Amino acid sequence: MLVAFNKPMNVLSQFTDEGRWPGLSRFGLPKGVYAAGRLDRDSEGLLLLTDDGRLQARIAQPKAKMPKTYLALVEGTPDAAALGALRRGVALKDGPTRPAEVEQVAAPDWLWPRDPPVRLRKTVPEAWLELTITEGRNRQVRRMCAHVGLPVLRLVRTAIGPYALGDLPPGRWREEDARA
């Protein structure tokens, strides 16, 4: 079984609650599934869960190089140098990243409001980037963007390999055909 879940902001990618942060057990997910990879508490969007260990490994293992696509609201104005650095890969403390596909995109009109809302400053511009990476280090997209001077204000994963978030509302899930 493979389940696509739209993880809301401030929800953990584990079934147990931790402190004031709720876990996945509150969302009526099928018994026996577990996360294939993770999303940080302060990130939103597509989280895949499965009861198949081999499928979980194909989705989550960095050596599988399964692409993961994100929308990132960043503080600042992306320039050619910043986008070029992301496309080439950047040197983080834990080593260089693989090159990312990245484009500046229009603000998505389909995206749900975030709870709590993003604090935007009127004097600081912001922009949306669509990034696709093929590894999944801890807070990688946030660290890559910060490295090029574009701190992430909101991060939403929209796809993992052939699986897309689509119109799945936050806190809801659906079964997927396991085609990875």
Catalytic residues: 40
Q: 5 vs 2, 25, 33, 35, CA distance in Å? A: 10, 12, 11, 10
Residues 6+ apart with CB under 8 A from 152: 72, 73, 74, 75, 141, 142, 145, 146
Chain position carrying tokens 């599934």:
33
Structure tokens at 86: 């992301």
User: Rounded distance, CA 157 to CA 131, Å?
Assistant: 9
Contact status, residue 112 vs residue 63, Cβ threshold 8 Å: no
DSSP state of 63: G
User: Rounded distance, CA 63 to CA 73, Å?
Assistant: 28
The distance from CA 28 to its chain's CA centroid, rounded to whole angstroms, is 22
User: Rounded distance, CA 99 to CA 64, Å?
Assistant: 15
